[in-house]
Each structure stands twice: as structure tokens, then as C-alpha cells.
Amino acid sequence: MKRLLIILSAAFAMTSAAQASDFEAWLEGFRAEAAAAGISDAVLAEAFDGVTINQRVYELNDDQPEFSRAIWDYLDSAVSERRIADGRARIAEQRILLSLIEQAYGVDAEIIAAIWGLESSYGAILGNYDAIQALATLAYEGRRTGYGRTQLLGALKIIQNGYADRNDLKGSWAGAMGHTQFVPTTYLAYAVDHDGDGKRDIWNTLGDVFASTANYLSASGYRRDEAWGVEVRLPGDFDYGLADANTSKAVVEWSAMGLSPMRGTALIERFDPNMRARLILPAGGRGPAFLVFENFEAILKYNRSTAYALAVGLLSEEIAGRDGAIVTLWPREERPLSLEERKALQQALIDKGYNPGPVDGIIGAGTKRALRDWQRDNGLPADGYATAAALEALKL
Ligand SMILES: [Ca+2]
């Protein structure tokens, strides 16, 4: 806590007087808007008492990583031996509570535990930023002002509704709060007072934490006892273009195309043949392939990152005591492309007559599709995976 205070006071010292007075003026306007939206004067006075800009929030907001992390590096730390062991220990300690919540919300205990483990290392790292200050800072200036305003108003509603006290609202620099890192709008929509004390306490009450998380997953379409996904073996000469965000098929269709689980019995014996599934190739055709089901899509609503959803699924298997290890090796010799290289790849695709979308360095669905088209036209395995080799070949 002492260190935090030093950081906060250092940040305060860096704030120029002009910026401080502009912020005060902005805050007056915001308070008027919040009052018009029904926030009481008493709540506004309490919430913004002494609130100033936090420069550290701007530094973190502007920090766009030069290199995106390779998925295998992310998974190595996300699903580490330590996190698996801690997860098994914590789920054993909370077995009765988790069983109750599993029954009540229809969400598997090990999925709740895996999200808990990934979001805060099972409550060890909750974030110590004052959410009101962090969100006011984001709302005032920078590239996330719209998000900041919406979430700041949400935080005020939390206080006004009496779900939590003003000083409870601690979290990450971006305003994600509690053991499973809810932003205020998610909190308002899904947080639950499980123990019935009148507070939706996602900071200190594990019943509220687990029930809130399960409630959110359930509302996102999660169904208990259904799988999140399975690693599959692809047949030879497979069309990697089928691993596309927009392509969903029934299990029976994938099975008929020759896909089979990497371990265990046939797909249609293990899963409902009519269940919808997408195919994902997180590291292209040379890495592991997964069929992912509706529960995976529900986890993606929690955090829209394939790597994250995969980590939740894999960690949950391990916590449950099933062997969740991926069989296929990741192509660890590949290196992530830098921002400049990702832009160069997009520009090279445009120069060759393909349409990857804007040259922004973000390898999204459009860039992958354009890269697949170019690969296919050049007799290469069309997996749309952006590698250094692909960039070199494209520049020829
Ligand atoms: Ca409570």
C-alpha cells in the first residue's frame, strides 16, 4: 500500500496545473451528465472527492505491444504447473460452495475455477487501482474515452444501488474489478449477491465471486457437462480455409470429413452429433487443431481472445484431473512478427492484388483470408498463418 501511495503521489506531481484544471472542468460536465442519468448528488460528491488524473493509466493505455506474444508462450504461463496445482488445491478447499453454484447456474466448477485462476491467480492479484480514478482518467482523454465514460457511469450506478461501497471499487488500471475482473457494466448486468448480505462483493466474498462468474457464463450460453472443445487430427490434403471464424458445422459433418479426436473414441461417439463446432488452427496448419463448441463461444464473451478461451478450457481439464495436454507440438521455431512486419505483410498482400483490409498491423479475419487466398494461388498450404517465411515470400 505504501508503494502504491508513492506511485500515486509521483503521478500527481507529473500532472501539470493546466491539465488538472482542464480535468476539473471536464469533470463538472461529466457530473452534470451523470446527475441527468439519475446519479444522486451525494453519490457524486463521495465518488469524486479528491479524484485526480492518474498518469500511469495513460502510460498503460498507450502501451501497444511491439510484438504480440506467441500463443505457446502465453499458454506456457497461463496453464503452468503452478496454476494447475493451485487450481486443484483451491477447488478442493471450495468444493461445497462450488458444487452449489455449479448446480444453481449450470456451469462446471472447474471452468469457474479456471477463469478465477487466469483472471487473478485465484484471488492473489486483484489490482489496486481506484476504479473511479482509473475510469475517470480514461474517460477524460486518450483512445478509450467512450469506454471510460460508459464504465465510469456504471461504477457510479454500482455505488448508488448500494451493491458496493465507493472505496470497495478497486481493480486493474482499466477498471476490471475483483477476483474474476468484472468491468462495471458486466458487474451491473451479472454480479450476484450469493450470500444474501445485500452486497455483490466480488472482492472478498467467494460465493459472490463464483456465482457472479457462473451467472455471466450461463447468460453467455454456457451449458454444464458440454465440452468446450477437443484437439483433433485433420485428414491429409485438408482445406485449411475451413478453419474460419464464419464456418460452423455439426460434429457429424466434421466427422464425415475425416476429422477425429487426437485421443479417445470417434467424434460422434463422444459428442452430440448435432452440436455445432468451429475449427481453429491457432498456429496455422503445422500446429494443433481444435474443434470448439458453444461453451468456447461463451468463454470468448468473457474475453474475446482465442488464446484466453483455449487457456480456460485446457486449465479446466487439468484442474478436473483429466489430462488436458495438447498432443501436437506448437511450431515453436516460428517467431511473432513485429508491428512493422505485420503492416509490411498487409501492404505486400495489397500490392499483389489481395484485400487484407486496412494496413493496421492487426492480423484479423480479413488478413488471414487474404493470406490464404495468396497461399492457395501459389500452391502453398493455405492456413492464413502469418510467418516470417510468408512475409519473405510475399515480398518477392
Ligand atoms: Ca454478498
Residue 291: enclosing H or E segment and its boundaries?
Answer: strand 289-292
pTM of this prediction? 0.91
For 393, list phi and psi in degrees, rounded to 5.
-65, -35
Task: Please tell me the distance from the alpha carbon of residue 392 to that of residue 384, in angstroms, as a whole number.
Answer: 15
Ligand 1 centroid from CA 199, angstroms:
4
Query: Closest by alpha carbon to 36, among 48, 26, 44, 25?
Result: 44
Ligand 1 centroid from CA 198, angstroms:
6
CB-proximal residues (5 Å) to ion ligand 1: 193, 195, 197, 199, 201, 205, 208
For 279, list phi and psi in degrees, rounded to 5.
-100, 130
Q: What pLDDT score does 2 carry?
A: 45
Ligand 1 centroid from CA 311, angstroms:
29
**Rg (the chain; Cα; Å):** 23
Instruction: Quote the Cα angle for 239-244-246, to 5°.
Output: 130
Q: What pLDDT score does 365 carry?
A: 87
Which spans in 126-266 are helix H? 131-140, 145-160, 184-190, 206-219, 251-256
Ligand 1 centroid from CA 201, angstroms:
5
Ligand 1 centroid from CA 187, angstroms:
13
Ligand 1 centroid from CA 194, angstroms:
5
Q: What pLDDT score does 62 carry?
A: 86
Ligand 1 centroid from CA 119, angstroms:
20
Ranges of residues in the chain with a pLDDT under 50 are: 1-2, 5-6, 8-10
> CA neighbours within 13 Å on the CB side: how many for 194?
23
Q: What pLDDT score does 237 carry?
A: 87
- DSSP class of residue 182 equals B
Task: For the chain, list the domains and their CATH numbers.
Answer: 2-64+131-175 (1.10.8.350), 229-292 (no CATH), 339-395 (no CATH)
| Sheet of 229-233, strand order | 249-250, 276-280, 289-292, 229-233, 260-261
3-class DSSP state of 94: coil
Residue 137: alpha-carbon gap to chain centroid = 22
The residue count of the chain comes to 396
- DSSP class of residue 355 equals -
Q: What pLDDT score does 20 carry?
A: 80
* 162-212 residue pLDDT tens: 999 999 999 999 999 999 999 999 999 999 999 999 999 999 999 999 999
CB 290 within 8 A of CB 254: no
